[in-house]
Amino acid sequence: MDMPGDQSVAAKAAWPLIWPRKLNQIPKEVFVSPGLFEAELKTIFHGDIWHPVAHAAELPNPGDFKTFSLGRTPLLITRGADGKINVLVNSCTHRGTQVEMCAAGNRKEFECPYHRWAFEISGELIGCPGMSEFSPDFDKSRYGLARLRSAEFLGVVFATMGDNTPALAQWLGEDMIRAMKVILGDGRLKLLGYQKVRYQVNWKAYNDNDGYHAGLLHTAFRLLNWQGGKGAQFMTENGHMSIMAELQPLRNVGFLKDPSLITFKGQDPAKRASVLELFPIGVMVKHLDTINIRFAIAHSHDCTEVHYAYFAHQDDDEEMLRHRTRQASNLLGPCGMISMEDASIFQRIHIGSFSPGVAEFQKGVKDPYALPVDVAQNDETGQLPKWEYYRRLMNFQRAEI
Amino acid sequence: MAVAAHILAAVDHLNLRYIQALDDLSMEGWLNSFSPAADSAYVCISEENDRRGLPLALMLDDCRARLEDRVTFVTKIWAGTFQPYRTRHFVQRLACEAREEGLCQAVSNFSVTLIQEDGTARLLTTGVYQDVISLTEAGAFIKTRRAVYDANVLPQYFVYPI
Ligand code: FES
Ligand SMILES: [Fe+2]
């Protein structure tokens, strides 16, 4: 596994914290430290890791763009005239002005307002006023918008700022590739829309979503008799995890007057629910007929912004499109029937974490000094390999005793 | 077409009942602002989705059954799990036009202030209500309300409709 070297030293210097010897204990300080966040920006968000930043279905036509952020780095993601997707830095190569301000749109070219340098949709510099008076070594071809290395799988666009990030397929691993196929099918999707929200929470708590809480925090899960627990969790040593849940067939116990919210029209009942959490904060979910990619931005140690993007499949008929829209709107987002409580917990974890001691993981722990091997659907141990990866990445030393 | 003063008064009264119910955290009162017809509807959607023609909403209650289910979400399913908050809604009618018999169409601005447990207030969002209103002997009721909110990114999660 690639472990970035020099940045971790910076992390250690910024935060001389000693990690508990037990693998199921996480020091709460890691959720509330502004200094640690700066080190995480370097090592994780700008390091040798892939980050999902868009899906091709968000930019169906040449000239389409969306803006996003990787940590604090502003991105401009575009579909060029050649149909290819470009992940660019949204900063003019002249004096650094933000080039595009809109969340999304379609343009023929980008023009920086400050001195009117113009850029192709794919990022190349077209021209600059007064160029004949520029320095003798000015070479227009070297002043396109900075480009991040990017790769696509099932339409999901991943980007990285690291120089030594492994190939995407290797970074994802077989289990996560399988989970992505369950969630996104063949990846030929159609965008239904967004729910965008900011949570006052550290990104690590946002993405610490365990299998244990589902039937406990979420009353709707209980009402629907969905805590069955026959599914499994899969983890990779580079911090990813997926939950393949096996939900019982739907039993509307009468508390919903409109059961279409929980109707499953898809084909394969084994694929009713899966969650994929890619390190550090990429989340994809399929629940019933809802297909959801959560593009998240770690703004600071105490603010995580999430763009819940929902999709249909390109082959859906009108009825299926409508069904997916109606289900997705009310089921899984920041005010969805079975997920609103998560949002509330995020903020309460953050408030509670300004306190000494550790966050404990217990459900499913067989040996506190070893990483779990088998993790059941309702265990919280699925988070532990991710925490161990994070600890090593940030170079925190474990206590001797 | 000019709208009679008593119709404008009925529409304003409806808007005030609606925001009063929400500020009182009364989901029953909220539900009672809507027409009892099976196709009465409430859609709360971001300005971005609305402008781009993306159908996905934050709350998509496109029939009476879903309005009633929303009351169940807030009062039964989510009870005890969210951080309590109150709101102050402000509403201002911008336009009102008569439609076929017994119906009118109205547009109003709204702004919603969120008040936390300690009394701190901050803006949750602003937006526009686009309504079809049913006028009856018993008063005005919402047939369909589309609440288009301005915040591109909401400053926090929602529990109550706006
Ligand atoms: S900063 Fe962009 S043109 Fe000068
Ligand atoms: Fe949850």
A70 forms beta bridges with A73
Nearest residue of A to residue B73, measured between CA atoms? A337
Tell me the domain boundaries of chain B: 5-149
Which of B27, B39, B58, B63 has the most A C-beta neighbours within 10 Å, making it the best mutation to test the interface with A?
B58
Inspect the interface and report whether the beta carbons of B72 and A256 lie closer than 8 Å. yes
Question: Which of A95, A140, A145 maximizes ligand 1 atoms within 8 Å of its Cβ, making it the mutation to test the pocket?
Answer: A95
3-class SS at B6? helix
Given a contact cutoff of 8 angstroms between Cβ atoms, the answer to whether A75 and A148 are in contact is yes
By Cβ distance, the residue of A193, A255, A330 closest to B55 is A193
H, E, C per residue of B111-137: EEEEEECCCCEEEEEEEEEEEEEEEEC
pLDDT tens-digit map of B26-83: 999 999 999 999 999 999 999 999 999 999 999 999 999 999 999 999 999 999 999 8
pLDDT tens-digit map of A162-182: 999 999 999 999 999 999 999
Reported in sequence order, the residue ranges of chain B that DSSP labels E, i.e. its strands, are: 41-46, 59-61, 85-98, 103-116, 121-136, 139-149
ipTM over 0.95: yes
pLDDT tens-digit map of A212-257: 898 899 988 888 877 666 788 999 999 999 998 877 666 666 899 9
3-class SS at A392? helix
With a CB-CB cutoff of 8 Å, which residues 118-147 of chain A face chain B? none
Total residues belonging to chain B: 162
Given a contact cutoff of 8 angstroms between Cβ atoms, the answer to whether A317 and A310 are in contact is no
Inspect the interface and report whether the beta carbons of B54 and A329 lie closer than 8 Å. no
Given a contact cutoff of 8 angstroms between Cβ atoms, the answer to whether A120 and A109 are in contact is yes
pTM of the model: 0.95
Residue type, A162: G
pLDDT of residue A92: 98
What is the residue-wise DSSP string for A242-306?
EEEE-PPPP---S--S-GGGG---SS-GGGSEEEEEETTTEEEEEETTEEEEEEEEEEETTEEEE
Inspect the interface and report whether the beta carbons of A310 and B56 lie closer than 8 Å. yes
Residue A251 Cα, gap to closest chain B Cα (Å): 16
What's the CA-to-centroid distance between A106 and ligand 1, angstroms? 21
* Domains detected in chain A: 5-46+174-398 (3.90.380.10), 51-160 (2.102.10.10)
Question: Looking at domain B5-149, does it have CATH number 3.90.1300.10?
Answer: no
Which ligand 1 atom is at minimum distance from the Cα of A99?
2
Question: Which of A89, A101, A112 maximizes ligand 1 atoms within 8 Å of its Cβ, making it the mutation to test the pocket?
Answer: A112
Task: Tell the residue number behind the tokens 């949570």, with chain if given.
Answer: A199
Inspect the interface and report whether the beta carbons of A330 and B62 lie closer than 8 Å. no
